Amino acid sequence: MFNLSQGTIVAKRTTRATGSTSSTDIVTIHDQQLHRGKGGELHQIAEDGAELLTTSQGGPVADDQNSLRIGARGPLLVDDFHFREKIFHFDHERIPERVVHARGYGAHGFFETYEPLTEITRADLFQRAGEKTPVFVRFSTVAGNKGSADLARDVRGFAVKFYTQEGNWDLVGNNIPIFFIQDAIKFPDLIHAAKQEPDRAFPQAQTAHDNFWDFISLTPESMNMVMWIMSDRTIPRSFRFMEGFGVHTFRFVNAKGASTFVKFHWKPKLGLQSVAWNEAVKINGADPDFHRRDLWQAIQSGNFPEWELCVQLFDQEFADNFDFDVLDPTKIIPEEVLPVKPIGRMVLDRMPGNFFAETEQVAFMTQNVPPGIDFSNDPLLQGRNFSYLDTQLKRLGGPNFTHLPINAPKCPFHNFQQDGHMAMRNPVGRVNYQPNSFGEGPRQSPSKGYQHFAADENGQKVRLRPESFADHYSQARQFFLSQTPAEQRHIAMALTFELSKVETVAIRERMISHLLNIDETLATTVAQKLGIQAMPKPADAAIPTRQDLERSPALSIVENGPKRFEGRKLGVLVTDGVDAKLLKKLKTTIEKEKALLELIAPKVGGVTASDGSRVEAHHMIDGGPSVLFDAVAVLASPAGIEDLEMEATARDFVADAFQHCKFIGYDENAFPLLVKAGIANDLDEGTILLPGDEGLAAFVSELGKLRVWGREPGIKLGKASSPET
């Protein structure tokens, strides 16, 4: 009778390993030969020398292909313990996903302290210059589920777990320094409104629907955040090219108990960069894992992402005299008012060995702080401190989620916590309590243990917002005016798109009334695009919008771009007969800039260059659109370009790059493709005829500008010319 197991495994000892296991992997224990796996774990050996398949209890498996049943076509038997265990585990492979920040991606690395900060904090990781602390970072989107696309217009989570010598410190922030709401009690309402509408379960990973904008339009405190989320901050080009923020005001506390207020900023080494909205939509179609792939490839290739941790430090006097309340999470302290100070750098240099075990099971909690870091009375932060533990208990099944390796401290730790679901550690010996008279077990330490800052607090027990939280429009106006013209245009376009998906006209009009308190030109532009006939009155404002706040260049992505092409990617469309010398020199020049060059060809198998050599491609033209690259070039032969002219995807490759204001390099043979793409009559400083292999350095240096934003207002792609043109 045919048996899918291909024979029955008979347990026996082998004297020599064969097949996939080398003899150096064999360990003999108690006269039994075992195979040592990659992680050092021991496995039994099957007949062919491979690791022996076992149950989770260690029992050898004879047949993993067929269930136990009565006869070849009979019913399954309940005593098939191997099938029961296998299907049981499979049924439970998915733990409940996060309600927010469900789609995430993480990496390991280290944080290196620049100089001791002993005068302002007793935190151990800031006591010694050059101190390296292991970290794990998880980037994420907020609104979408685990299966959503990377380039949704959304806030990005930026959570860092520091494994310090005094316990874990979780700096759980976002790529935007403020938030929608001022009090955590409104968080369920915000997320309910932002997620899929409950009756129809869509849209997914989008805020372009009635519920979200209904809530926002009735929540004036969100208006500053509206400017940020409608900006290009919410469509970053890469995790590597975005800032991170702790959002709230925290405290540093030194060994004498003195407090200094602190706000945390992560500054990317490679500068800021985002994508255009039309580009984001097409990236999601071409590669919904775009951000994941980018981080993976960067780390695997040794181009380790790096950020500086910077702080804004201030005392009570500054807090009392600043224009806005430092406890209000919808406000920033502009860097021009209070400069940031770099205190260390973070480098991500290792991907998780298993996504589920680490990135999916990592548990961040804002309340995880070491001695020397404390909280302010920010009501949103206080609520987060209360909430996060509940989240981990729900997701990870019980109180012992800290036993998971990704969540466990890397310093020694001891306590009397015991038992519970999935306990992997328990107290050893007789005593599991304090105080005890046996002199056993860990003890508290007033000098070394965590001490909260002794703040004086007084007042009535009430439910209210402080008057100092009441200005909802001034910083929103400041943010908008701090953007370049191109960025302001993108904010108007984003608002128009989002509100165009809102079916209830009254909600659109209500949002226009708020925009009138921010910038009249912005409000008028959006209203006209939406076809609103009569402008509403400005929304009632508890505090009139201030007109005197100065521009903050630190708030602009464009003004904080890289100025160089390092870490970026050039996509080169090539044909058979491509100039081998030119292509080789272009690749060398790009690599000197610490950037990547990837080839796109009519076939993924590649092309034959002018010298007869075979050049493999990274993408075929159908799978390598220009949206995947930061700049593009087209290198062709006279015969090859004729074929490309007939390819719609090749024409789109050039037309999209032009529409997205990217730099386009081309050789003389490639010009007919520019004609067919409808851009030949609109060439500008960003469309560059390559000067030959001797002048490529100048071309590559231009790529550091990333975009030719001056092209955007006049983009009107011409009709493709006829073949005879």
Residues identified as active-site: 101, 174
138 assigned to a ligand binding site: yes
What gap in Å lies between CA 21 and CA 44, rounded to an integer?
12
Return the beta strands (E) in 37-76 as ranges. 42-44
What gap in Å lies between CA 629 and CA 607, rounded to an integer?
20
Residue 495 carries which side chain, given as an amino acid letter?
A: L
What gap in Å lies between CA 110 and CA 131, rounded to an integer?
10
- Longest distance between any two alpha carbons in the chain, whole Å: 99
Chain centroid to Cα 528, Å, comes to 35
What gap in Å lies between CA 90 and CA 80, rounded to an integer?
16
Q: Say whether the peptide bond before residue 435 is cis (omega within 30 degrees of 0).
A: yes
DSSP state letters, 172-193: EEESSSS-S-SSGGGHHHHHHH
Tokens standing for residue 366: 């804002």
Alpha helices by DSSP H, 419-574: 474-481, 485-500, 505-515, 520-530
What gap in Å lies between CA 44 and CA 54, rounded to an integer?
8
Which residues are registered as beta bridge partners of 172? 159
CA neighbours closer than 13 Å in the CB half-sphere of residue 56: 10
Instruction: Answer for the pair 329, 381: CB distance below 8 angstroms, yes or no.
Output: yes
Burial of residue 308 (number of CB atoms within 10 Å: 0-12, 13-18, 19+): middle
388 assigned to a ligand binding site: yes
Chain centroid to Cα 130, Å, comes to 27
128 assigned to a ligand binding site: no
DSSP state letters, 311-364: EEEE-HHHHHHSSS-TT-TT----TTTS--EEEEEEEEEE--S-HIIIIIT---
Question: Which of 368, 414, 371 shows the shortest CA–CA distance to 122?
Answer: 371
**625 — phi, psi (to 5°)?**
-65, 160
Burial of residue 424 (number of CB atoms within 10 Å: 0-12, 13-18, 19+): exposed
CA dihedral 440, 445, 446, 451 (to 10 degrees): -120
Question: Which of 170, 167, 147, 169 shows the shortest CA–CA distance to 158?
Answer: 170
CB atoms < 10 A from the CB of 535, how many? Answer: 15
Q: Answer positive or negative: Cα dihedral of 573, 578, 583, 584.
A: positive
395 assigned to a ligand binding site: yes
**Strands 569-574 and 631-635: what pairing?**
parallel
What gap in Å lies between CA 158 and CA 297, rounded to an integer?
19
Residue 123 carries which side chain, given as an amino acid letter?
A: A
314 assigned to a ligand binding site: no
Which residues line the annotated binding site?
Answer: 98, 138, 187, 384, 388, 395
User: Binding site for heme: residue ranges?
Assistant: 98, 138, 187, 384, 388, 395
